[in-house]
Amino acid sequence: MVVTPIKFYQTGSFAVGGRLLGDDQRSVQSDRERINSIDCGHRACQGCGEALGARYALDAAMRATANQMVAVNATGCLEVFSTPYPETSWRIPWLHSLFGNAPAVATGVAAAMKAKGRTDVRVVGQGGDGGTVDIGFACLSGMFERNDDVLYICYDNEAYMNTGVQRSGATPAAARTATTPAVGPEPGAVFGQGKNVPMIALAHEIPYVATATVADLRDLEAKVTRAMEFRGARYLHVLVPCPLGWGSSSHDTILIARLAKESGLFPVFEAEHGEIVATSKIRRRVPVEDYLRRQTRYAHLFGEKPRADVIARIQAQADRNIRRYGLLGED
Amino acid sequence: MLRQIEGSRAVADAVALCRPEVICAYPISPQTHIVEGLAELVKSGSLAPCEFVNVESEFAAMSVAIGASAAGARAYTATASQGLLYMTEAVFNASGLGLPIVMTVANRAIGAPINIWNDHSDSMALRDAGWIQLYAETNQEAADLHIQAFRIAEELSTPVMVCMDGFVLTHAWEQVDTPDQDQVDAFLPPYEPRQVLDPAEPSSIGAMVGPEAFTEVRYLAHARLMEALDVVPDVSDRFAEVFGRNSGGLTRAYRTEDADTIVVALGSVLGTLKDTVDELREDGLRVGVLGLTCFRPFPAEAVRAALGHARDVVVLERAFEPGVGGIVTQNVVTAVPAARAHTVVAGLGGRAVTKTSLDRVLRAADRLPSLTFLDLDRSLIDRELGRLAAARRSGPTAENLLRDLGAVASRIG
Amino acid sequence: MEHEKPFAITLDVGSSRANKTGAWRSERPVYVDLLPPCNQACPAGQDIQKWLYHAESGDYENAWRRIMVDSPFPAVLGRICYRPCESACNRGQLDEAVGINSVERFLGDEGIKQGWSMPVSAPSGKRVLVVGAGPAGLSAAYHLAGLGHAVTIRDAEAAPGGMMRYGIPRYRLPREVLDAEIDRIRAMGVEFEQNSRVTDVAAAKAEFDAVFLAVGAQVGKRAYIPAGDSARVLDAVSLLHGMESGERPLLGRRVAVYGGGNTAMDAARTARRLGATDAVVVYRRTRDRMPAHESEVAEAVEEGVAMRWLSTISEIDGDGITVEKMRLDESGFPQPTGEFERLAADSVVLALGQDTDLSLVDDLPDVEHAAGVVRVGPGLMTGHAGIFAGGDMVPSGRTATVAVGHGAKAAREIDAWLREVVTPEPPARREAAFENLNTWYYSDADRTVRPHLDLSRRVSTFDEIKGGLTESTALFEARRCLSCGNCFECDNCYGVCPDNAVIKLEPGEKYAIDLDYCKGCGICVAECPCGAIEMVPEET
C-alpha cells in the first residue's frame, strides 16, 4: 500500500518529538544523541527555565554549526550553577570572563577565529538579563554596531536572580523584587521603566533579531538555526521563567512562559536587517491575570485589597503588544 | 633599520612585527597614535592576518583581547590613564585567566582633575592586577620591550603591560632601530596557548572557585609572576643575542657600584637622572641610578644587590599613594630594609622633571625627609589651605589653584 | 593533544556528572498506564487507543488485528455502532471527538479488501453450540473458533446476521460487508446451520459441551391502540425483516411511525425510500429524550422525515390517526393533555421496542428469566451449567456492539469453563481524565467528516449513505487520538527536563527517569500531553 506522507501527528508541531516524524521534522531535543551542551549535575534550582533554555539554544546551535562552536558566558546564574570548581556541566568549549563583557569577549573569540581562518567555528555569547540589558549593554551594543560575527543569547528571567532577585532593566512593572518590594502605594517595579532590548537590537539593523520562550522549543530551535545562517551580529532574547524569583511552582516553568506569550505580555517575533519578518501568533489568548496569578512576585495584586487598577495597566501593556506586533490572527 | 620616528609609530611597528592576530583599540591620549599606526598596517594589508576591532570602550578592548587570547590568538591593545581604570575589571580578569595579552600603557595622570599629561598613576594603580609591568626608558626600549613582552607573556601564560611615558616617549621623534621581520620571527615563536577554546577539545575556562581552592589559585598566580623574575632577564639576554642590543631585563644600574646615594626610578626620567648623576659625579658626589625596567614582579633580589651598599636611597616616583607616600619606595624598603629611603614625588600630571631640581634634591639626599614633592609651590598650597580653613564651600581646589596661578582656563585636550 | 590546563580555573567536560542532584528530590515522576475513556466506554471491550496507535503509523494491518482481538466486525460496527467511545472521547472536550468509528470502518474495509484473516488455535476437542447468528452469537463463535473449539451456529433465519441483516437497513449496512465479515468467521471453521430454529435447548445441549444462547429480541412490542378494520398497522421489526426477505410492503404515501428509538428512525427512513412522501415519527416525549441516536434522528430529518413530539397515537383508522398531545411533568414523564388532533396516514408502523422469544428455555427450569430476559451470572452463565446466554436476550443495552461484547465475554467464559481454569480479572486501571491532559500540545484538528451520499439519491435508493474515509483522512483521524493516559513517545518529557534526567530508550521502549539527576521539578508531568506521568512522594 502506498503510505501517504505524514502531514499531521497527534500533537502537531508542538511536542518535542514523536515516533512518526521524519528526521527532518524532529527537534534537536528529541534526538537520543543530542549533545546536551549543559550536562547533568548542574546546580540550577528545580524547574530552572534558564538551564532549559540554554540547553535548547546551544544544542540547536551545535547542530547548526556541526559542533564547531564556542560559547562565551556572562557572570550570573547560568555561569554559577554550571561551573563551580571542580565540576563543569558544559560539554562545549566555554569561556566565562566577567559580568558585563560577554558580548565583547565573544567578539574577541570571533575575531580570533577569523584571523586564524577558522570561520567555521561560530561564537555564541550568552547571559542573563542583568548581564545583557544592564551591565553588559554597552558591550552588546558595540558588538551589534560592528556587526561582529556573534550570536548573542539573552536568557531573560526579568531580574538579578543570582544575587537574590533584584530589579533589572528587564523587570516588568509591578513585579516584586528585593529592590522593588511590594510595599507602598505603587508596590513592585514601577511603570514606565525598563528597556526593550529586542527592539533596541532591531534598531541596530543587525542581520537577525528574534525573541522566543522555553515554552516553544521548535520555534526556539528554528530561530537559533536561522540565526546561524547569517554572518554578523545576531540577537536572540529568550524568556526563561525563574521559579525562585518569580515565585512559581517548579513544574509550571513552561506553562508560565507559554502564558507570557499567550497573554501578549511577551511578544515573540523575528526580524532580519531591522525589519520584523514574522510574529508568533497567540494561539489561545488569555488575560494577563492568568499569567500573573501563578507568580508570587505579583501576589500583592491579588491580596486582601486586589489591585484591579494595576492589573488593568498590565493588561493594557499586553493589549498594546498585541496591537503593535500583530499578535492575533493566523500564522 | 634605523629611522627617525615617533615613539608611538616605533611601538606600532614593533607590535606589528610580532604578528598580533587581534588588536582592539579605543582612543585615548597619549596612546592613540600607536593604534592609529596599527590600524593603518592592518587596513593596508601589510599586517595580516589580523583583526583590528574598533571597540566602544577600554573595558571592551580588554574583553575582546580576553576572548581573542582564550581562542588562541595573539592579542594586543593599548590604553592609558582613565582607559586603564575603565578596563580594570577586565585587566584583573585577563591575568586571573592566565591569558598572555600584551598591552601598552602610555602612562598618563588620572583625574580628577582631568589631565592628559604624563605620570605613572595609571599603571601604578594596577600594580596588583597580576600583570607583568615593564617600563621603557627610551623609544628604542619601548619598541624592544614589546617584542620581548609577547615572548614573556606566552612563556608564562601571563599578560604583560609595557609602560611608556605618555607624550615624553609616545610623541617624541627619535632614532629607533626597527628590527627585521625575520629577526622577530626567529625570536618570537608562534603562540602556543596552554589552554584554548577548541571545539575539538572542549573545556570550561573561567570556573567559579570557592574557598576550597581560591588561595591555591592565587598562589599559583603569584608563583607564575615570581617565575617571571627568571624569564624576564632570560628573554632580555636572548633578545640581545638576536638583536645585538640590551633592552629589558629586571633592572639597569648606572654608576651605582661605588655610589653613596642611589636614585631609583622608572621610565623616561632615567635619562635626565643619568645626566644629572654625571654632573654630580663631576662635583665628586658619588651618586648612581638604578632603573627598574621590571616593576611587577618586583625584582627584590636585584634591587637588594644594587642598593645594598648605598647610604641613601632616593626613590623618584611619578605617582604616589595619597595618605601614604611613595609606592615604589615601599617595595624598595621591603627589599632592602636597611636602606635609608627617601621618596621624591616628581613629574605629576606632566610637570617637567628638570636637572636643576634633581640636582638640588640629590645634593641634599642625606638630609631629605622621607617624602618630598619636587618643585611643590608651597604658597599655592598655603593659600588654598587657608581658604579651606576659612570657608566650608571654598570651591573646587584645582580651579582655585589655577586661578591663583593666573591660568583660569586650563587647556585640556 | 591534551594540554595541561590551568588549575581550578579550567575544567574538563562532563565533570558535573559527579554531582548527583537526585538527592534534592522529594517527589519523583513515574510513568503510568491509565484506562482511556474510549476503551472504558466500548461495549465490545476494544482497546481502541491501541489500535489507533497502530493506525497512526499507517500500520493498518496491525491496527486491524488489534481490533480483531476483541471484535470480528470492524467493517460492520464501523458502520452501525452508536459510538459510545466517541461520546466518551476526551478530544470531544477540546474540539471534536476522534472519529474512531470511521477509522474502524476504514480498517474493517481494508481488512476485507486485503483479505486478512485470523489464526485459529489447535483444536481443543470441545464442541460448542451457538444459538442465533446475530452479533452476539457470531462474536462468540468467532472467539471460540479462534480458541480452537468446534463451533456450530444454529439460526432460525435463512441467512446469518440476525438483526444486522434483518433489522438494520442496507443503506446503513451494505450486505456485502456483512457477508464478508461473516464469511471470515465461516472460514475459521464455524459450522452454520441456517433455517434451524432451536426449540429445545436441553436436547441440543446433549450434543455439545457448552451452549451459548443468543437469539436476540425479534418480537415487536405491541401497544393497545383502538384501530379500525381498514387501518393498516404493522410493526417495524416485521417491516425491516420483510425488506430483507424480498418483500416490498405497501405502506402508501403517508406513513406514521410510532416510537422514538433507532428502529423507528430506520422504519421511517425505509418508508421514505419505499416512496412515502410523508413520513412522520410520532413520539410521546421530546427530541432530547428520544432513545434514538442523535445522528439517526438528524439523518432522518435530512431525508424529509417529519417529527411529531409530545404525541401519542390514541386511535388508528382507515385514513389516519388521532394523536393526543402530551406534556412532560416534573419528572419528565409524558402526561396526557386531552387535546387531540388528526393526522392523515395510509399506514402506521409501530416501533415500540422488541421482546425476546424465550420459549426455547421453557423446558429448562434452572434457567431463570424475568421481565422478558434471561438471568445470567457475571460470567454470562445461566442457572444451567454449561448454558450461557448473551446479547439482547439478557439484560443489556441492546445494540450490536453490546452484543459483540457479550459474545466475546461469553467465549472467554465458556473457554475457561471448558478448560476448567479460572481467569483472573485484570487489575483495574484508573481512568485517564481530561483534566490530566496538557491539551496545549495537540494541534487544532477538527474531525474528518465522512462523505455522504447525495440527498436525492438517499431517499430513493438503499445505497449506503455514508462513505468511508480515504487512507489519508483515516490517518489524519487516527492521529487526532490524544492517547489519553498512555505514553505515545512524543519526547516531551525527554525534551523539557532541565536536568537531562529523562532517558530516551529505544523506539517503542519509551523513557526512564535518571534518578541520579532528577530534581523532582515535575515539569515532565506538567508538560506530558497525555497525562502519562505522575509525581509520587519519595519515601523518606
Q: Is A107 on the interface with B (CB under 8 A)?
A: yes
In C303-441, alpha helices (H): 400-419
Q: How far apart are the first and last CA of chain B?
A: 34
Helices and strands in chain C: count of H runs, count of E runs: 18, 22
Q: What is the DSSP string of A45-88?
A: PTT-HHHHHHHHHHHHHHHHTTT-EEEEE-SSHHHHHH-BTT--
* Residue A15 vs residues A25, A62, C490: alpha-carbon distances, Å: 11, 21, 6
Cβ–Cβ under 8 Å, residues C82 and C401 = yes
Confidence of residue A11 (pLDDT cuts 50, 70, 90): low
Nearest of B12, B181, B63 to residue A109 by alpha carbon: B63
Hey, are the CB atoms on C11 and A89 less than 8 Å from each other?
no
The residue ranking higher by pLDDT, B410 or B303, is: B303
At A277, is the secondary structure helix, strand, or coil? strand
Chains that touch C (3 or more CB pairs under 8 A): A, B
The number of C-beta contacts closer than 8 angstroms across A and B is 168
CA distance C475 to chain A (A): 8
Alpha-carbon C205 to chain mean position: 31
At C509, is the secondary structure helix, strand, or coil? coil
Does residue A86 have a cis peptide bond before it, meaning omega lies within 30 degrees of 0?
Answer: yes
pLDDT of residue A322: 98
Does residue B213 have a cis peptide bond before it, meaning omega lies within 30 degrees of 0?
Answer: no
Least confidently predicted of A200-204, B65-69, C364-368, C486-490: C364-368
Nearest of A4, A41, A108 to residue C106 by alpha carbon: A4
Q: Is B204 on the interface with C (CB under 8 A)?
A: yes
Hey, are the CB atoms on C489 and A17 less than 8 Å from each other?
yes
**CB crowding C343-359: b at 16 or more within 10 Å, else e:** bebbbbbbbbbbbbbbe
Hey, are the CB atoms on C21 and A48 less than 8 Å from each other?
no
d(CA C7, CA B217): 7
Strands B294-296 and B132-135: antiparallel
Sign of torsion over alpha carbons B237, B241, B242, B247: positive
Q: Is A152 on the interface with B (CB under 8 A)?
A: no
Query: Is pLDDT of B137 > 90?
Result: yes
Nearest of B244, B228, B355, B359 to residue B302 by alpha carbon: B228
Residue the block writes with cell 576591532: B53
Provide the grid cell at C449: 467528516
Residues in chain B: 413
Q: Tell me which residue in B89, B197, B204 faces A83 most closely, judged by beta carbons.
A: B204
Query: Is pLDDT of B413 > 60?
Result: no
Hey, are the CB atoms on A94 and B89 less than 8 Å from each other?
no
Exposed / middle / buried, residue C122 (Cβ in 10 Å: 0-12, 13-18, 19+): exposed
pLDDT of residue A7: 38
d(CA C110, CA C73): 12
* Residue B412 vs residues B29, B111, B213, B380: alpha-carbon distances, Å: 11, 12, 48, 21
pLDDT of residue B401: 78
d(CA B29, CA B79): 8
Closest chain A residue to C12, measured at CA: A88
pLDDT of residue B408: 52
Q: Mention every residue, 6+ apart, whose C-beta is less than 8 A from residue C506.
A: none
d(CA B65, CA B60): 8
d(CA A89, CA A102): 19
CA dihedral A19, A22, A25, A27 (to 10 degrees): 50
d(CA C537, CA C540): 9
Q: Mention every residue, 6+ apart, whose C-beta is less than 8 A from residue C449.
A: none
Backbone angles phi, psi at B3, to 5 degrees: -140, 150
d(CA A150, CA A110): 7
Adjacency order of strands within the sheet including A269-272: A275-279, A269-272, A208-213, A234-239, A150-156, A122-128, A69-73, A94-96, B203-205, C10-12
Strands B160-165 and B132-135: parallel
pLDDT of residue B148: 98
Select from A23, A37, A46 the residue whose CB has the most chain C CBs within 10 Å, as the one to mutate to test that interface.
A46
Element housing A146 (H / E): none
Provide the grid cell at A26: 524532529
Beta bridge partners of A285: none
Confidence of residue A5 (pLDDT cuts 50, 70, 90): very low
Beta bridge partners of C316: C227, C321
Does residue B30 have a cis peptide bond before it, meaning omega lies within 30 degrees of 0?
Answer: yes
Does residue B179 have a cis peptide bond before it, meaning omega lies within 30 degrees of 0?
Answer: no
d(CA C399, CA A113): 75
**Using one digit for the tens of pLDDT, what is the confidence trace for B210-249?**
999 999 999 999 999 999 999 999 999 999 999 999 999 9
Exposed / middle / buried, residue B285 (Cβ in 10 Å: 0-12, 13-18, 19+): middle
Query: Is pLDDT of B353 > 80?
Result: yes
Hey, are the CB atoms on B199 and A84 less than 8 Å from each other?
no
Provide the grid cell at A264: 501578549
* Residue C528 vs residues A254, C163, C533: alpha-carbon distances, Å: 11, 44, 7
Closest chain A residue to B211, measured at CA: A85
Q: How far apart are the first and last CA of chain A?
A: 34
Q: Is B223 on the interface with C (CB under 8 A)?
A: no
Hey, are the CB atoms on C8 and B217 less than 8 Å from each other?
yes
pLDDT of residue A1: 33
Q: What ipTM was predicted for this assembly?
A: 0.95
The structure's pTM equals: 0.90
Q: DSSP label at A292?
A: H
Contacts of B215 in chain C (CB under 8 A): none
Exposed / middle / buried, residue C534 (Cβ in 10 Å: 0-12, 13-18, 19+): middle
Q: Is B207 on the interface with C (CB under 8 A)?
A: yes
Cβ–Cβ under 8 Å, residues C512 and C503 = yes
Across A236-261, average pLDDT:
98
Mean pLDDT, consecutive 10-residue stretches, chain C (540 aa), reads 71 92 96 96 95 93 97 96 94 91 96 96 96 97 97 96 94 96 97 94 91 92 82 89 85 92 93 91 91 90 93 89 92 90 92 90 85 90 93 90 96 94 83 93 77 78 84 86 93 96 94 97 97 92
Confidence of residue A8 (pLDDT cuts 50, 70, 90): very low
**Using one digit for the tens of pLDDT, what is the confidence trace for A157-199?**
999 999 999 999 999 999 999 999 999 999 999 999 999 999 9
Helix, strand, coil % (nearest 5) of chain C? 35, 20, 50
Query: Is pLDDT of A254 > 60?
Result: yes
Helix, strand, coil % (nearest 5) of chain B? 45, 20, 40
Select from A59, A107, A118, A144 the residue whose CB has the most chain B CBs within 10 Å, as the one to mutate to test that interface.
A107
Confidence of residue B298 (pLDDT cuts 50, 70, 90): very high
In the chain, the amino acid numbered B285 is L
Nearest of B100, B14, B30 to residue B65 by alpha carbon: B100
Q: Mention every residue, 6+ apart, whose C-beta is less than 8 A from residue B282.
A: none
Average pLDDT, chain B: 95
Contacts of C10 in chain B (CB under 8 A): 195, 203-207
Contacts of B103 in chain A (CB under 8 A): none
